Structure 1
Amino acid sequence: MPTLIHELLLSPAFELMARIILTSFFWVAGVFGIVKFNLMVQTIKGYGLPAPKLIVMLMVTTELAGSALLITNAADLGWLGAGALGVFTLLSIPLGHAFWKLEPPKKMEEFQIALEHVGIIGGLMCAAALTV
């Protein structure tokens, strides 16, 4: 590996940027959940889940707190933030992207989203391993 790339990969600025980019979906979604709380509640109601306001509050908290922990690694708890976001993402597949229940072409669209979620979970697993 070229020295320049090696030094870049080991730099604190690169690591911070990687954590911010990896969590960008979550903190943007968390802020959206605050700004558009009622819309999010209606979306959760549409899935037939109980206590939609509580679920949205828990979603926003998980997205923002998990992102903050992973970005800052506060109290060496970056692994916990990555884990919380990973579990959150995994749970969103059967709850929001149940492709196996759908007909084409929607089935393929939701399958692709589920695969993207699996990829994000892999990235969060790597991030968790790098915080210890």
Structure 2
Amino acid sequence: MPTIIEVTLVSDAFEIITRVILTSFFWIAGIFGLLKFNVMVATIRQNGFSSPKYIVAAMIVSELAGSVLLITDAFQLGWLGAGWLGVFTFLSIPLGHQFWRFQPPKRMEEMQIALEHFALIGGLMAAAALTAR
């Protein structure tokens, strides 16, 4: 491996940038949820869930707290942030992307989102493993 690549891969800056990018979906969604709380509540309500304000609040806390833990590895709890975001993402598939309930082409759209979520879970699992060392 070329020295410049090795130096980059093991640098603290690269590690932080990697964590920021990996969690970007979550902290952007969390900030959006804070700024557009009522829009999020309406969306959750449309999907038939009861207590949508509590659900949205839990989503925002999960997205932001999990991201902060993983990005900062505060108290060496980056693994917990990664796991939290992974479980959150896993639960969002059957709760928010029930591709099996739709007809094409909506079925394929929702299935692609579910598969993207599944791939993201793999990245979060890798981040959990790396921060647990």
Pairwise CA distance, 1:2? 1.4
Q: Which residue of 1 aligns with 2:79?
A: 79
- Separation in 2, partners of 1:115, 1:66: 21
1:1-132 to 2 correspondence within 5 Å? Answer: 1-132=1-132
Give the counterpart letter for 1:129 in structure 2. Answer: A
- The count of residues paired between Structure 1 and Structure 2 equals 132
Tell me which amino acid in the other structure corresponds to 2:48: G
What SS does the corresponding residue of 2:103 show, helix, strand or coil?
coil
Deviation at 1:10, TM superposition (A): 0.3
1:68-123 Cα distance to aligned partner (Å, 9 max, x none): 00000000000010001000000110111110111000000011000100010000
Quote the offset at 1:50 in angstroms. Answer: 1.4
Amino acid at match of 1:97: H
> Does the residue aligned with 1:103 lie in a helix, a strand or coil?
coil
Listed as ranges, the gaps of 5+ residues in structure 2 are: none
Q: Distance in 2 between matches of 1:42 and 1:127?
A: 33
**In structure 1, what residue type is equivalent to 2:33?**
G
- Name the SS for the 1:49 alignment partner: coil
How many percent of aligned residue pairs carry the same amino acid?
Answer: 66
TM-score (structure 1 length as normaliser): 0.98
Task: Give the superposition deviation at 1:49.
Answer: 1.0
Structure 1 gap segments, 5+ residues each: none
Runs of 4+ that moved beyond 3 A = none
Partners of 1:51 and 1:12 lie apart in 2 by: 42
- RMSD, matched Cα: 0.6
Structure 1 Cα separation of the partners of residues 46 and 35 of structure 2: 19
Letter in 2 for 1:106: K
